[in-house]
A and B are shown apart, each in its own frame.
Chain A
Amino acid sequence: MEVKTLKKEESKTGTSIRVSGAEAVIHCLLAEGIDTVYGYPGGAIMPIYDELFKFKDELHHVLTRHEQGAAHAAQGYARVSGKVGVAMATSGPGATNLVTGIADAQIDSTPLVCITGQVARHLLGSDAFQETDIVGISTPVTKWNYQITHASEIPEVIAKAFYIARSGRPGPVLIDITKNAQFEEFDFKYQKCTAIRSYTAKPTISQLKIEEAAEAINNAKKPMIVWGQGIILGKAEAELKAFVEKTGIPAAWTILGASALPNTHPLNVGMVGMHGNYGPNILTNECDVLIALGMRFDDRVTGDLSTYAKQAKVLHFEIDPAEINKNVHADVPVLGDVKESLEAILPLLKENKHEAWHNEFKEKYKIEFDKVIKNDLQPEKEGLTMGEVIEQINIASKHEAVIVSDVGQHQMIACRYAKFNTSKSNITSGGLGTMGFALPAAIGAKMGAPKREVVAVIGDGGYQMTIQELGTIFQTGVPVKIVVLNNEFLGMVRQWQQLFFDKRYASTEMTNPDFIKIAEGYHIQAKKVTKREDLATAVEEMMASPDAYFLEVQVEKEDNVFPMIPTGASVSDVRLS
């Protein structure tokens, strides 16, 4: 890579010293403000691990029990802290094990820098031991990747990696470093990267589009906001709040947008999408102006595109030009950083209340409450529901916990019923739907926000995909709270089998081990709840524990998650049962 493509800014650490490539990697990470890395050693990355040993007071390395766990932990760390997560692995299987986490970070726009060891340059392409083409493999799921074969490339490439990972629409970057480059010595000097000529991190905001959008909003009779993770990634929570409060527009959120505005805010009308709230789904097809803020119209949000918000004028505030008109036509595309766009539009907006329109959301909520929410949160049947467990966590945490959910029914229930006061509190695998995400992500989340309570909510299926990370919790003593909602089924797949495959429960019933014994094997305090009367105390006890804690709740085996928009159906056809 040539210097001319980078714009340089002198860093405070920019004095030249003679070091090995491996040591240079550590200096780069420290210069980027990294304090924690997640990883797993192996042959091709041993020189870097040797340096990690020497720098253990400056840089905390967390040994996960599998490289996938390292990637997810780095994601959890990044998502709660807003910083770049770093994961490391050796070549071959170490690198390929990272791929699921990288793909998850790519689709959920999580800033990661993954560093993999690679066989020495002279062995490349020779099918050497633990050689794999990780640059080729990771290309479709990285924002950028690069193979370093000479130590002298390390500072520039790593500087570029961090800049790319965190700027614009964030994403994962993979840097593959051959073993010879880790051993080679060179004159090290670090300069942060601040621009790349072929890459525009933030498109320039068009004042004309801001004015067009403002006019549409001011003239709207039934406007509706759907915000996404862009608000959180763009640190635009305060601007969102000011925007909704001035305009009085009902605001709904996508799964990854959760927590950007407190759930208790009177203008927060709930979640959109497949298992979102009834009102915002139905009323998407009745609003006259749809204001999309930092979201990408995922198919789980829109359902059938040909019947999605066709009556509405769509205003799409978005940082990534490739998202404009990708799924939903934008009548007014407002390209740019959402925080800056909201700042620019706010003075142009008229104050409003939209009371009659709000009442429609309230009426729809009443319907949903009677048909769904009441049964989930105040059940009269004997079996425990997932919803009442989430509600107990809400109560015990006073809406201040970070909830890290896995994938499936419990995830939808957690996102529907968890109450958040603080942004960056809902950590879940949204786009990729990666089972096994939550346990390692919760480890990273707790380390990224040590003062906050972190509760992992996991199903019995997903838990067993990365259950070995209990070892990481035990070894590091990280005080995460783990709640497994056990229905002895792969619940979401079972729900689909019930609804769409005539109850043919193919390979969804689980014969589970004794989870309590497993937790205790890792010296983690553990408790199992099977009765309603024990639930509140158990959750309180878990939350009060200063250490890691495992709580298994035996829930109803065949409960379903509603509302539901069946795949390919319109948001208007959301089912309540």
Chain B
Amino acid sequence: MEILRTAPNPWGQEILVGIGWDLMWLVVISAVLFIVVHVAYMGSRGKAAEDGEVAHGAVHALASDLPEHVKRHSFASRAFHWLMSVTMFGLLITAFVPVMGWQFEWVTLHWIAGVALVVTIVYHIVHSLAFQDFWSMWFSAKDLPQGMEELKHALGAGSGAPPKSGKYPFDHQLYHYAAALVTLAAIVTGVLMMVRVDTPFWTRDPYLLSDRTWGLVYVIHGFAGVSLIGLIAGHVYFAIRPEKRWITWSMIRGWIHRDDYLAHHDPERWVVKR
């Protein structure tokens, strides 16, 4: 399997030119295998409904003053999420579909999608720092034991009642940071790579960095790209799993039902205004 692609530069020095496309296939195949195995595993345990479904209407005494719809995502957050996902899909499709064999003029679409992604991410960072509870997505060492337990349940492997999480379950937090790291790597390298693309604003110049440095930039961009295939495949898969749909709906409607709140969240850790 080719992990890194190298080539002799014009002076015959062996330089990196990018990741091996075998890696893309490795990630795609791994993701598919994971999903198939996970579906089978969950099916065999018959856990889907049991974990996810909460019988609505059984108002908990503690929560009698809770609104029926607990607001989870503001409109701004949801808009960000979906816009970002559109750009992300745009980027992944324009990056990898041509490699897979369906060829089209992808470069312009790719960089435009990249610019759009950068805009959404900048918006998200500003928004989360200024207007959101930044720490809700954060976790500390003391959260880890419970986090691990949450993770097990999220994957359908836990036993007993799932532990109750804060606003963002541990698996979401983990995912967010993994995705953020990888996306930032892709963005930083991608923005650099923009000087090698003709745009209406400048003419490309391949010599801003040395070809060895460019090789690294390409490799990081490539690794980030294939990692995103895996991350997003997992994300989408879990989002459409029946036991997670209540969360998925919240990203569309903005709220979760009071019962879901009570069933899955620890009111101490996610304090909802009553």
Do the two chains bind? no
B binding-site residues for A, Cβ under 8 Å:
none
A binding-site residues for B, Cβ under 8 Å:
none
